[in-house]
Amino acid sequence: MTYQDFYHYSLIMEAELRSLEEKIIQFVELCQRLRAENQDLRQQLATALNESKRLEEKINSAKTRLENLLHQLPEGDA
């Protein structure tokens, strides 16, 4: 291999390494964004589940109160 061939080969290798480095950086950034998004989604899910549980308890409480009120109504003479 001549010096010129080696130099040309070296330039190609450097370009490929820079390209690979850029792709790795983009991949790492994507992973970080996805990790943050995943954490946000987990927090949103936990909040939604808590709200759902609270609303379910509220509905059950209203149902119980309505049932109690129905039992207090006088029965009609049909």
Q: Which residue has the tokens 């109504």?
A: 73
CA distance 39 to 67: 42
What's the confidence (pLDDT) of residue 4? Answer: 82
CA distance 71 to 78: 17
* pLDDT tens track for 52-74: 999 999 999 999 999 999 999 98
With a CB cutoff of 8 Å and minimum separation 6, the contacts of 55 are none
pTM > 0.75: yes or no: no
Domain positions in the chain are 24-67
The residue type of 74 is P
